[in-house]
A and B are shown apart, each in its own frame.
Chain A
Amino acid sequence: MIKSTLGEKIFSFFNTIFLIFVAFVSVYPLLYTLSISLSSAAEAARMGFHLYPREISLSAYKMVFANEELYQAYGNTIARTVLGTAGALIVTSMFAYPMSRSHMPLKRPIMLILIFAMLFDGGIIPLYLLIKNFGLIDNRLVYILPSLISAYNCIILINSFKALPESLMESAKLDGASEMTILFRIIIPLSKPVLATVGLWAAVGHWNTWMDGLLYINSNDKQILQIFLQRIVKQSQLSMESGLTNVDVMSYTSETITSATIMVTILPILLVYPYIQKYFVKGIMLGSVKG
């Protein structure tokens, strides 16, 4: 090893400082929101950096949890995430397994259908009219059905299944196993890491998506968490953008409530994030469509 020069040492020092600063800037807005959510309206109105709450007040959370709509929205979001993810994994695996076999008939035309679906988007108005024609407006099924299959996930699974040794499936076949049995007893257990990655992305997607709630759902009791939050955020944007003239306690009550609602919305993601980070990072490498 060549000893590092003075210049390199100085660079290394400032580089470390700078990157720690970048990390801090990335999470500071979250700390601020957490801190405001735990503050009283009077404390939130104080101009400051609010890195941590000076004294903890749960009044904002009490108001958030007093709202019955939150529970409904939370329930709807959890339901769509669980059912939507499980459904997507099953439908996608069932689609990908035959497409990964060499003797699958009609493989090329089906693959073309899949790839064109990925490249061309019919747009939101035709999709809206289609969903309306199916009578899915204001129906919770609209959260799940359209996203059960995604071309991108199919291609990831097809490539990953292709990499498994074909002899495994052939010998199972000789033992009299049906294709469904092979998929659920052999392929799926062998593909846990890639299924975890695809499933986690699908779950985060379900948790965060909101256009379907905005466009297709009218009743409050069927609404999802993101839209519930969006309404609160839009309201608080209005009160904040009215500028300096309007610094009454009301608008800061609304800021603490917005912050508390945000924290409640992202809590599940924050809780699982440290454990599943590696799967997400793996996911970005799976993106190749080739193979």
Chain B
Amino acid sequence: MNYSGMKRKEQNTATKKGLFCKNETIRSCIKHYDLLLMVLPGLLLLLVFRYGPIYGLTIAFKDFTMSNGIWGSAWNGLENFKRLFAGNEFGKVFKNTVVISLIKLLFTLPAPIVLALLLNELKALKVKKVVQTCTYIPYFFSWIVLSGIITSVFSVRGPINLLLSLIGIEKPIEFFGNGTMFILMLVITEIWKSCGWNSILYIATISGIDESLYEAAKIDGANRWRQTLSITIPSIIPTIVTVFILNLGGVLNAGFDQIYNLYNPTVYDVSDIIDTYVLRRMEVMDYSLGTAAGLFKSVISLVLVVLSNWFVNSISNNELGLW
């Protein structure tokens, strides 16, 4: 409150002084040069490594060759984008990205909610702590580590196939052998990695619910199930909506790390996503086409993130958005 009031006052004086405004900034810069110097290393790194590549994006509109460099290569307008959309390949890659993302979202969104609700019902605190510790662990390993583990656990002679044979499925399943199975594996392994971790947010929200609500419900004769339906779930709906919308904003990130480390040639057809496509263009040194694809993705992602943030803000009175 105070802060915003101060801000308004500052603006008022700034407009009053009008033309001197610029001078004021310069004077303040000279006075607080030490603060500016402290910001400098970080700012430079940011400009070089985050904004430098934005200059490099110009090669999406150029016929880039290594010998001519970014500056020296000739402009060719939208030629690269025409090439990108001409064949079937990018269309397929785009579709794969969206399909994988949405299927993953469909399952990975509810899983941590269910886990948090069940954990909330657990009375034994020691057990709760152990369950939490165990379910968080996979989140701390890279997809390289996880893919090594997954490959051996799900191999044809691995423990999962052994279990399946014990319950009567004799023919071993090749879990990475066909497209449908592969996408199922993406969902399962994603849940394994991040379900526990993602439940933290919901657990925190649930623990913040006013205890008196439950007390009142008990007096009205509501049992635990009724309390969950009428108090707990409505209380976490804002969090659910936020997570959902922010995930939609990242729909073009189908999970490069996961897919790159798990896929193999037999499933390229369904598992080739924008990021793997860009990497492959890079490997064959078709930099302009790869950059065009990357730019296409970055721009759509930016729009989606801004839109989803705007939407979350507008339904939550500016409370839940990222900024």
Contact surface of A with B, Cβ cutoff 8 Å: 2, 4-5, 7-8, 11-12, 15-16, 18-20, 22-27, 29-30, 32-33, 36, 45, 47-50, 91-92, 94-95, 97-99, 101-106, 110, 113-115, 117, 119-130, 133, 145-146, 148-149, 151, 154, 178-180, 183, 204, 207-210, 226, 229-230, 232-233, 236-237, 240-241, 243-244, 247, 255, 258-259, 261-262, 265-266, 269, 273-274, 277, 280-281, 284-285, 289-290
Chain A binder among B82-90, B93-101, B154-162, B230-238: B154-162
What are 7 sample pairs from A and B whose C-beta atoms fall under 8 A apart?
A22-B135, A30-B137, A48-B159, A102-B6, A105-B35, A247-B157, A289-B323
Tell which of A120, A125, A226 touches B290, judged by Cβ atoms closer than 8 Å.
A125
Residue numbers in B under 8 Å from A95 (CB-CB) = 38-39, 41-43
Tell which of A179, A241, A243, A262 touches B148, judged by Cβ atoms closer than 8 Å.
A262
Output the nearest chain B residue to A148 by Cβ-Cβ distance.
B45
**Closest 9 pairs (CB-CB, A-B):** A122-B53, A126-B56, A95-B42, A123-B294, A126-B53, A208-B142, A23-B134, A98-B35, A105-B28
Closest chain-A Cβ to B189's Cβ sits at a distance in Å of 10
In terms of DSSP, what is the predominant structure of the interface of chain B?
helix
A180 to B36, CA, bound (A): 11
Please tell me if the beta carbons of B151 and A91 are within 8 angstroms of each other in the complex: no
Please tell me if the beta carbons of B131 and A22 are within 8 angstroms of each other in the complex: yes
Given the interface contacts A129-B70, A149-B46, does A259 sit within 8 Å of B137 by beta carbon? no
A25 to B172, CA, bound (A): 20
Residue numbers in B under 8 Å from A126 (CB-CB) = 52-57, 59, 291, 294
A32 to B159, CA, bound (A): 9
Q: For the complex, count residues of B whose C-beta is within 8 A of A.
A: 100
Please tell me if the beta carbons of B223 and A125 are within 8 angstroms of each other in the complex: no
A261 to B29, CA, bound (A): 54
Please tell me if the beta carbons of B224 and A284 are within 8 angstroms of each other in the complex: no
Tell which of A16, A125, A133, A258 touches B152, judged by Cβ atoms closer than 8 Å.
A258
Residue numbers in A under 8 Å from B159 (CB-CB) = 32, 48-50
Please tell me if the beta carbons of A48 and B162 are within 8 angstroms of each other in the complex: yes
Please tell me if the beta carbons of A26 and B135 are within 8 angstroms of each other in the complex: yes
Please tell me if the beta carbons of B131 and A20 are within 8 angstroms of each other in the complex: yes
Closest chain-A Cβ to B115's Cβ sits at a distance in Å of 7
Tell which of B34, B134, B142, B201 touches A180, judged by Cβ atoms closer than 8 Å.
B34
Output the nearest chain A residue to B192 by Cβ-Cβ distance.
A26
Tell which of B41, B119, B124, B156 touches A244, judged by Cβ atoms closer than 8 Å.
B156
Q: In the complex, given contacts A126-B291, A261-B148, what are 4 additional A-B residue pairs having Cβ atoms less than 8 angstroms apart?
A: A47-B162, A98-B39, A106-B25, A237-B264
Closest chain-B Cβ to A278's Cβ sits at a distance in Å of 11
Given the interface contacts A127-B53, A128-B282, A258-B152, does A23 sit within 8 Å of B157 by beta carbon? no
Residue numbers in A under 8 Å from B21 (CB-CB) = none
Please tell me if the beta carbons of B145 and A119 are within 8 angstroms of each other in the complex: no
Output the nearest chain A residue to B134 by Cβ-Cβ distance.
A23
Please tell me if the beta carbons of A179 and B34 are within 8 angstroms of each other in the complex: yes
